Copies of this chain bind each other. A is one copy, B any other.
Amino acid sequence: MNAALVKELYEEINSLPIVDIHTHVNWKTGTARNIGEILSYHYYTELTNSARYDGEPLPLDDPRELTRLIYPKLELIRNTVQYDWLMTISREFLDIAPEEWEIDDNWEAIFDRSVEVMDRADWAEELTAQADIVRVFLTNQYDEDLEGLDTGFYSPCLRTEPFVLWMDRPAERAGLQRFLGKEIRTVADVRAVIVQAFQKFVRHGMGYAAMSIPANFVTGFVSDEDAQRLLDKAIAGTPWDAADRRAWGMFAVNRICDACRNFGRPYHLMIGVSRDVYRQGVPMGQDLFDSVNSMSGYDYILNTYSDVRFPTAILSDTSGLELTAAGWIRHNVYPSGHWWYANQPTEIARELRRRLDSVPGNKTIGYFSDAYYLDFILPKFRMFKFELAVALAERMERSLIHPNMEPFSFAEAMLLAEDLLINNPMDIIALDADED
């Protein structure tokens, strides 16, 4: 590693504003109100639960008490990149030095000081300005209140699990019926509720539709007649078996793709999560993934909806080259960021090089933060930007002696960085398109 060059590149890359195409930020609040909310992020609750398990339920509604409980376990995760994110928040936003976190029983002082800063009237704006965040894409349920959303900053994105994965749940159907304003009895009703959700989201500057999907999901054609039978069965209260669930998934994904096509919106696929597999896990810390995951199940929609754009994130390292190859030849697959368990330096470094070397330069979406508070966007993007600086510095140095390459300049490196971080995400999601 050429430290001087990496540093120079990093600093230049870091001066780019942040476009964050996938977060779970609550747009009504934006930032955390205290360090306890920061520590409630599942990375900290799950890592400390894993480091020293005590089986006690976490007081997620009492940030002060949560801080008291988690604080002494934090020393066990000091080696992790997630701890580094926390230190960046502490150092950069709260002006609390990392050493203060190493003092025994210092949690209360830290908590109180965090409140001082985070309680400031314009704190969300201050933080956003300090981190130079210019656009944030959200994760929203169809029935979420979007009135008053600042569409110049936030873009809502529609989660499609309710339509695709949960239609057999009475409570889920009840919610959809409330939203639609009529009973859901036919596949036409399902179409209608999807259209209504897209219409609502488009009115608020919709980013895209999205779904996190279990490993080995399969897409394909299912007729309206077959889908109606499944819907009837669900309404009658007869449990779906695995084949039913699979068939409904195929049908409903196609209906979401129809809507993406009709409304000109991308469908962001997040592939490979195994939900609720760790029973003693903290809330949101019970999911893992499966290394056995074929992306061949997506062939049908990728071919059939050739005019829909599919930014795609993967959870397993074993899907990395498969996604690179898809981004390389499929015109409508866009490798997107580094998700969750793959969101650490080892995986980022590998996937980034693969994508830089063989996916067309206009097709890769560099990064998204997946953050629950705006506070996390800066440290997470920094982690990626540093890996990007390392990869680009390496490319510059290799180019000087590589027999197939012309010298790759600093300016060219920065153009590539800008494409990954700003131009590609904006072009691929193409917010302007639906305003035409």
Contact = CB atoms under 8 A, between A and B. Distances in A.
Contacts of A360: 47-48, 50-51, 76-77, 79-80
Contact of A10 (B6, B382, B401): B401
A219 B213 CA distance: 24
A289 B321 CA distance: 9
Given A51-B363, A317-B321, A357-B80, A291 B294 contact: yes
A359 B344 CA distance: 11
A403 B344 contact: no
Interface in A321-366: 321-322, 324-332, 341-342, 344-347, 350, 353-354, 356-363
Per CB-CB distance, the 4 closest pairs between chain A and chain B, nearest first, are: A53-B331, A51-B360, A84-B404, A279-B303
Given A316-B322, A322-B316, A358-B81, A285 B50 contact: no
Given A279-B306, A329-B285, A360-B51, A401 B6 contact: yes
A357 B321 contact: no
Contacts of A362: 51-52, 76
A293 B292 contact: yes
Contacts of A405: 84, 87
16 contacts: A50-B328, A51-B360, A51-B362, A79-B361, A80-B360, A87-B406, A88-B404, A286-B329, A288-B322, A290-B295, A290-B322, A291-B318, A321-B342, A324-B341, A344-B358, A386-B404
A85 interface: yes
A27 B358 CA distance: 29
A409 interface: no
A400 B358 CA distance: 31
Contacts of A10: 401, 403
B357 A79 contact: yes
Interface string A93-114: 0000010000000000000000
A16 interface: no
Contact of A296 (B82, B290, B386): B290
A146 interface: no
Given A80-B357, A291-B293, A357-B79, A403 B328 contact: no
A280 B87 CA distance: 48
Of the four ranges (under 10, 10 to 19, 20 to 34, 35 or more), the interface on chain A belongs to: 35 or more
A294 B303 contact: no
Interface string A373-387: 000000100110110
Copies of this chain assembled into the complex? 3
A322 B291 contact: yes
A3 interface: yes
Given A48-B360, A291-B321, 18 more contacts: A3-B401, A10-B403, A52-B362, A77-B360, A79-B356, A87-B405, A278-B302, A278-B329, A279-B303, A279-B306, A285-B329, A291-B318, A317-B320, A318-B321, A321-B347, A325-B341, A328-B341, A383-B404
A258 interface: no
A260 to B, nearest CB: 16
B404 A81 contact: yes
A49 interface: yes
A294 B277 CA distance: 13
Contacts of A79: 356-357, 360-361, 416
B299 A277 contact: yes
B77 A331 contact: no
A287 to B, nearest CB: 8
Contact of A319 (B98, B277, B291, B397): B291
B357 A98 contact: no
A308 to B, nearest CB: 12
Contacts of A311: none
B361 A76 contact: yes
A402 B416 contact: no
A330 to B, nearest CB: 6
Contact of A358 (B53, B82, B98, B317): B82
A296 to B, nearest CB: 5
A281 interface: yes
